């Protein structure tokens, strides 16, 4: 089960009473259903907006309580300037409307007859993503906290067209909510085998799922990934998802995710404060799973592969030691000088395997890879590293369009010097200076000619405060970005 608000579209008739939200612009007097409700209330809505000096700024709300005619709660939601009203604004309007409705009950109607069916669908997307909660482990509601909306009706002049526009967006929303669910799960509930089970559910969408267990990975020479996994009682997995919606035989696009279900740091153990957040160190893998669910859910006309390396980084009598040397699937050896730089070890094997087996059109990996990227970019943008200007531009542009923003970082050859080991081909740490760049440089050693990009999502995947791209908690970062990049540049 995925945590997600139910959406229905209905005819643009005036709801009789209850809670409604009306997206509207200022200036001209109300039209459509806004006018009908306003008239039924003897002009109370216009008077309320005036009395509150409400300027209909985008996503700002004016709540009118019990104005008469059986209404409990009428929320005016600003649409901002007509010439700036686009999908992004509509999503923000949906977030605000759903939030204002939830404050008064568990059901509501958004009166969206003033919007095109396409924009009404984006209002729905905002409402769904803005209403997300992860409450599986709450046995009692918290005092003072309002219950989330259970269902939302969107009244529109063309329900069939809105529903058609919503269908692919609903698939993306499900992918985002699936990603958020996975990231929110505590690490005792989601170790690699449980993660594998959650991925197997994608078969219902037509995704082919293949699982490599410890023996299979040993056979393939995944020494770097297995070295990380050896300190945990939880067995590691590499899971391969395939969606074939494109032309037969066409090379797939590929997504690779870091899935460290808990990162204690290993023998190079992390400090206690904040270590709990390392249950989210599988957010890259979750974004890949969410993206595959989105692509399959909307039957994208593309061949896509998702590969995730799932391990737990723990301490034990058998844990990997600082100074150990491991042999990667690519054949290169790595001196593990810090067991907390484990993500790059996992990705080294999985990246190499993915490009070697699938020869993809491009390969994008997502990973909560370094604390240094949080220092550099904070929680608003993810770091982008790429060997391809074209792929980097496609990702950056889509980031601006979806709000899941990126910032490109350098990959000069000179950074590689910091990764030379005294006794092996590479060492897994390059020191504090440019920590995110040397990490990316390490990954690049396991990619051959294929266009590749690495997204360091350590700062954006999970936050303790709301950001411009998501409410606090798990953001689902990457799903909207990658789904949209595929639909814009690589589909059909």
| Residue positions forming the annotated binding site for Mn(2+) | 258, 263, 281, 340, 342
Of residues 247-306, those binding Mn ion (CB under 5 A): 263
Q: What is the DSSP string of 23-66?
A: EE-SSSPP-HHHHHHHHHTTTHHHHHHHHTT----TT-EEEEEE
Q: Which is nearer to Zn ion, 112 or 187 (CB)?
A: 187
Q: Which residues, including other chains, have CB under 8 Å from residue 420's CB and lie 6 or more apart?
A: 426, 427
Q: Contact region for Zn ion (CB under 5 A) — 233-241, 261-269, 455-463, 466-474?
A: 261-269
Binding characters for Mn ion, 194-223, by CB under 5 A (x = yes): ------------------------------
Q: Is residue 372 a contact residue for ligand BES (CB under 6 A)?
A: yes
Q: Which does 370 bind (CB under 5 to 8 A by kind): ligand BES, Mn ion, Zn ion, none?
A: ligand BES
Query: Edge-to-edge, what's the strand order for the sheet holding 303-313?
Result: 208-212, 237-244, 303-313, 253-263, 362-367, 452-456, 382-386, 406-408
Residue choice 185, 196, 340, 483 for contact with Mn ion (CB under 5 A): 340
Provide the 3-class DSSP secondary structure of residue 254.
strand
Interacting residue with Zn ion among 343, 360, 473, 478 (CB under 5 A): 343
H or E element: which one contains 237?
strand 237-244
**Number of helical (H) and strand (E) elements in the chain, helices listed first:** 14, 19
Beta carbon nearer to ligand BES, 183 or 486: 183
* Whole-number Å distance between alpha carbons of 463 and 363: 26
Min separation Cβ 424 and Mn ion, Å? 19
The pairing of beta strand 208-212 with beta strand 18-24: unpaired
DSSP 335-371: EES-TT--HHHHHHHHHHHHHHHH--SEEEEEE---H
Catalytic residue among 344, 381, 405, 427: 344
Closer CB to ligand BES, 312 or 342, in the complex: 342
Binding of residue 263 to ligand BES (CB under 6 A): yes
**Closer to ligand BES by Cβ: residue 220 or 429:** 429
Residue from the set 62, 458, 479, 481 that interacts with ligand BES by CB under 6 A: 458
CB atoms within 10 A of CB 74: 27
Integer Cα distance of 188 and 86 in angstroms: 42
CB of 180 closer than 8 Å to CB of 474: yes
Alpha helices in 131-213 (DSSP H): 159-184, 192-200
| Contact flag: residue 483 with ligand BES (CB under 6 A) | no
Work out whether strand 237-244 and strand 208-212 pair parallel, antiparallel, or are unpaired: antiparallel
- Whether 270 is catalytic is yes
Q: Min. distance of Cβ 276 from ligand BES in angstroms?
A: 11
**Is 180 among the catalytic positions?**
no
CB 153 within 8 A of CB 99: no
Give the nearer residue to Zn ion in terms of CB position, either 153 or 185.
185
262 - beta bridge partners? 312
Site pattern 331..360 for ligand BES (x: CB under 6 A): -------x-xxxx-----------------
Among candidate residues 81, 133, 198, 270, the one labeled active-site is 270
Count of residues in contact with ligand BES, rule CB under 6 A: 16
- The nearest distance, CB 368 to Zn ion, in angstroms, is 6
Judged by CB under 6 A, the chain residues 268 through 307 that form the site for ligand BES are: 281
d(CA 75, CA 78) in angstroms, rounded, equals 10
List the single partner that 129 binds among Mn ion, ligand BES, Zn ion, none, CB under 5 to 8 Å by kind.
none
CA-based nearest residue to 293, from 209, 382, 401, 212: 209
Residues in contact with Mn ion by the rule CB under 5 A: 263, 340, 342
Residues forming the active site: 270, 344
Residues in contact with ligand BES by the rule CB under 6 A: 263, 281, 338, 340-343, 368-372, 374, 429, 435, 458
Residues in contact with Zn ion by the rule CB under 5 A: 260, 263, 281, 343
């Amino acid at each position: 089960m995925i945590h997600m608000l139910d959406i229905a579209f209905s005819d643009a008739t005036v709801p009789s009473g209850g809670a409604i939200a009306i997206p509207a612009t200022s200036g001209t007097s109300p039209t459509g259903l806004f006018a009908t409700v306003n008239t039924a209330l003897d002009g109370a809505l216009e008077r309320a907006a005036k009395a509150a000096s409400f300027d209909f700024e985008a996503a700002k709300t004016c709540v009118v309580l019990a104005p008469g005619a059986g209404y409990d709660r009428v929320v005016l939601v600003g649409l901002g300037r007509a010439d700036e009203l686009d999908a992004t604004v509509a999503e923000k309007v949906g977030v605000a409307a759903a939030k204002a409705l939830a404050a008064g009950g568990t059901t509501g109607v958004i009166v969206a007859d003033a919007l095109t069916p396409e924009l009404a669908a984006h209002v729905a997307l905002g409402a769904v993503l803005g209403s997300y909660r992860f409450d599986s482990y709450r046995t009692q509601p918290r005092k003072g906290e309002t219950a989330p909306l259970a269902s939302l009706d969107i009244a529109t002049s063309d329900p069939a067209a809105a529903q058609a526009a919503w269908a692919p967006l609903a698939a993306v929303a499900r992918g985002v909510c699936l990603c958020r669910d996975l990231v929110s799960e505590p690490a005792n509930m989601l170790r690699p085998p449980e993660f594998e089970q959650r991925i197997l559910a994608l078969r219902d969408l037509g995704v082919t799922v293949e699982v490599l267990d410890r023996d299979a990975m040993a056979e393939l020479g995944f020494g770097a990934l297995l070295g990380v996994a050896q300190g945990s009682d939880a067995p590691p997995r590499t899971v391969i998802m395939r969606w074939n919606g494109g032309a037969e035989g066409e090379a797939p696009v590929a997504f690779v995710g870091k899935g460290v279900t808990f990162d204690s740091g290993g023998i190079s153990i992390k400090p206690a404060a904040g270590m709990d957040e390392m249950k989210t160190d599988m957010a890259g893998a979750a974004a890949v799973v969410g993206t595959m669910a989105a692509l399959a859910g909307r039957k994208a006309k593309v061949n896509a592969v998702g590969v995730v390396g799932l391990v737990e980084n723990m301490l034990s009598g058998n844990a990997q030691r600082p100074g150990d040397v491991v042999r990667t699937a690519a054949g290169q050896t790595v001196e593990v000088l810090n067991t907390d730089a484990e993500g790059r070890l996992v990705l080294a094997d999985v990246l190499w395997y993915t490009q070697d087996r699938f020869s993809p059109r491009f390969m994008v990996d997502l990973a909560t890879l370094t604390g240094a990227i949080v220092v550099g970019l904070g929680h608003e943008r993810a770091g982008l590293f790429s060997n391809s200007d074209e792929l980097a531009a496609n990702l950056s542009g889509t980031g601006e369009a979806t709000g899941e923003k990126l910032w490109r970082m350098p990959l000069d050859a000179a950074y590689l010097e910091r990764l030379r080991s005294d006794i092996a081909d590479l060492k897994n740490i390059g020191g504090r200076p440019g920590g995110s760049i040397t990490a990316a440089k390490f990954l690049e050693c396991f990619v051959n000619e294929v266009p590749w990009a690495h997204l360091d999502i350590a700062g954006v995947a999970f936050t303790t405060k709301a950001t411009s791209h998501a409410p606090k908690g798990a953001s689902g970062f990457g799903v909207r970005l990658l789904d949209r990049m595929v639909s814009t540049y690589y589909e059909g």
